[in-house]
Amino acid sequence: MKKFGRYFGAGVLILFLALLSGADDGMWMPHQMRDLNLRALGLQMNPDDLYKKDGAGLMSAIINLGGGTGEFVSSDGLILTNHHVAYGAIQRASSKEKDYINSGFLSMTRGEEIPAQGYQAGVLLGYEDVTARVNAYFKRGMTPRERYDAYDKAQKEIIAQGEKAGKDLRCTLAAMYSGNSYYFYTFKQIRDVRLVYAPPQDLGNFGGETDNWMWPRHTCDFSFLRAYVAPDGTAADFSPANVPYKPKVWLKASLEGFKEGDFTFVMGYPGRTYRNYALPELKTDAENMARRIKDTQDIIRFYEEAGRADKEVEIRYAAQVKGLYNGLKNMQGKLEGFQKYDLIGKKGVQEKALLAWINADPVRAKKYGGAPPALEAFLARQKAFGSRTELLNGVLSGSIILSQAYSILRAVDELQKPDKDREQAYQERNLPRLKQGIQLAERGYVFATDKELLKWTIKRLRASHPDEAKWPASLKDLTAGSEAEVASRVDGMYARTALGDPAKRLELLGLKPAQLAAYDDPFFRLAAGMEKELKVVREESKGMGREGADLKMAYESAILEMKEGTYPPDANGTIRFTYGPVMGYQPRDAVTFLPQTTIKGVIEKDTGELPFKVPPKIKDLWKAKDFGPYVDARLGDVPACFLNTTNVTGGNSGSPTFNAKGEQIGIIFDMTYESVIGDYYIIPELQRSISVDIRYVLFVTEKFSGAKHIIKEMGL
């Protein structure tokens, strides 16, 4: 098909693109795609081939990596995702002797691939609307706590029934539109995932935090993983006997290129958006953001100072620091967006329109009129309620050893109950992940640093909460006295504990409550006291949480009726589809950004030092114009990154970007700074997603690293 520009005059094209850029302000569920008229918007493939219930649709190649997205790109289970999505695996495999973060990792044979510790791949097998099944658990006249228990029972029973169909199935139940509908998802959960190739951070994290969330961008943010299963095709833990997984569908990469205005789409697993928040919810988030920014900046400084003197400390906390920086800049962009674009005012206009619609009809007024004020009153009560655990949770988050002790204490108690009566995190289906978390904790902290972190945390909390009389009873023995006395107390706890040994922690997980209570360890004594107080609040919060959920459900029910159901639900970690053209943008007066960057821009940013240190081989290849088949004839260079108007958020990282034919042209890895506010409110002229161009990925894989076997496996 000929491209748009051959048919439209310049003025008509600009108008068309402006309309198209504002057409999609959400993340659509697979069954909603049939109503989007995608052919008219530019899709060239059959829309029915995007998602098929038999697992043969394009969407079946998209993988849930638990907080990120990946995609199958070969018939042998090869997975393409972001470098920053695979970063945890890279960090856990690294040491001072083998620093894969800095130098990268490449396996030339299948036998050299190493476990991606902590990673699992969820292959979507299908999903269905189970609203009627869930609602059958709710009875008229139930209290909020009874409704909480009813929904908890519904989740457990529906999930248990679904997972009986196969030993490697993982099912989830997700509420849409604040609980006005429910959908049930079934995954094949692959537990043996291995690292195949990761570029050095000079490329995979080029630009670092300076460029994070910014445009123009030149980061080659990708890595390759591989999914393995038992010889019979079922999911299994790591074993040399395992074989590569054979997906039904895998993606084809396109080297054809594209230009501004070309239709694109993205499929992935976005985490959370808040576009359907009520006005008081939005105000609460805006109020909390400045404090969260300050807290994040403080903890980053602690980790960085600790890592300067010890390379091992730097490596162990690298993933945490990277995640904190990522979240920090995201929050800064959102707070700036709240103020710059008057989001409170815009949301106020939306809510005023909703209230006017409700009150325009007596039936609607009776049905929905009480929801907005009731929700506002509830949120005020909830805020006061949440402050009761602020100090307990603050101390708990200030030590890996303490949090491990608390997790074991909770687990030992829950494991005495029948499986159906346990908190979901401690059910049998989740125990392997719990045990893995205990083991993998070793790769993400240093014992001596953890001790200093707890001292630092208590010092900060005492400064912000100086009235010791208001501190929880369980913490007073730990936090009373001078700073030197607290430090001495903490030193003594770490000197007397055996919880620095993961084998010991796993052993303690197998004890009975009475045995654990008799075990003499200062962290268990502290955790036990904290749990007495946290348990009371936790039980109260169940009914309160359900009360809030019901009020929000009524509020969003009104929105659904007003909009006649023609809008997508907020993102919640489930598979979504979003579309839009390749397009630049104008963030401020007299500044216009083009939608594509090239390796020329990579070279221009080179300073010889992190985060803008370009590997010499990249410079040599560029100088020699040794681009291979990855050159863009129109640009005369290898394209690096590009923009489109698709609608993504955290969790979409690693999602494939497709052209109109359904071929992969890039990998989503970021949004622009101006569009992070899109989690709350879409501003079409600013909403842009950033992808690394698939040609840059393949150029680095082949020309820079010599991994021709990967290129060949991808069918290129």
pLDDT in tens, 517-563: 999 999 999 999 999 999 999 999 999 999 999 999 999 999 999 99
**Identity of the amino acid at 697:** V
Confidence of residue 5 (pLDDT cuts 50, 70, 90): very low
Q: What are the counts of helices (DSSP H) followed by strands (DSSP E) for the chain?
A: 27, 20
- Average pLDDT, stretch 210-224? 97
Owner of token pair 């993400």: 444
What confidence score (pLDDT) does residue 18 get? Answer: 38
Q: Name the catalytic one among 83, 84, 211, 399.
A: 84
What confidence score (pLDDT) does residue 8 get? Answer: 32
What confidence score (pLDDT) does residue 439 get? Answer: 93
- Percentage of the chain beyond pLDDT 90 is 94
Confidence of residue 23 (pLDDT cuts 50, 70, 90): very low
What confidence score (pLDDT) does residue 24 get? Answer: 59
What confidence score (pLDDT) does residue 154 get? Answer: 98
Owner of token pair 């969260």: 292
- Average pLDDT, stretch 218-245? 98
Q: In 3D, which of 499, 477, 497 has the Cα closest to residue 486?
A: 477
Quick check: 6 pLDDT over 90? no
What confidence score (pLDDT) does residue 388 get? Answer: 87
Which residues make beta-bridge pairs with 658?
A: 265, 664
Quick check: 627 pLDDT over 60? yes
Question: Is residue 84 flagged as an active site residue?
Answer: yes
Q: Name the catalytic one among 399, 474, 653, 705.
A: 653
C-alpha angle 676-680-683 in degrees, rounded to nearest 5: 65
213 contacts 588 by C-beta, under 8 angstroms: no
Question: Is residue 83 flagged as an active site residue?
Answer: no
pTM across the whole model: 0.93
Question: Is residue 653 flagged as an active site residue?
Answer: yes
- Percentage of the chain beyond pLDDT 70 is 97
H or E stretch including 643? strand 639-644
Give me the count of residues in the chain.
716
CA-CA distances (angstroms) from residue 675 to 27, 225, 583, 645? 15, 30, 14, 10
- The DSSP output letter for 206 is T
H or E stretch including 146? helix 144-163
Q: For residue 693, how many other CB atoms are within 10 A of its CB?
A: 25
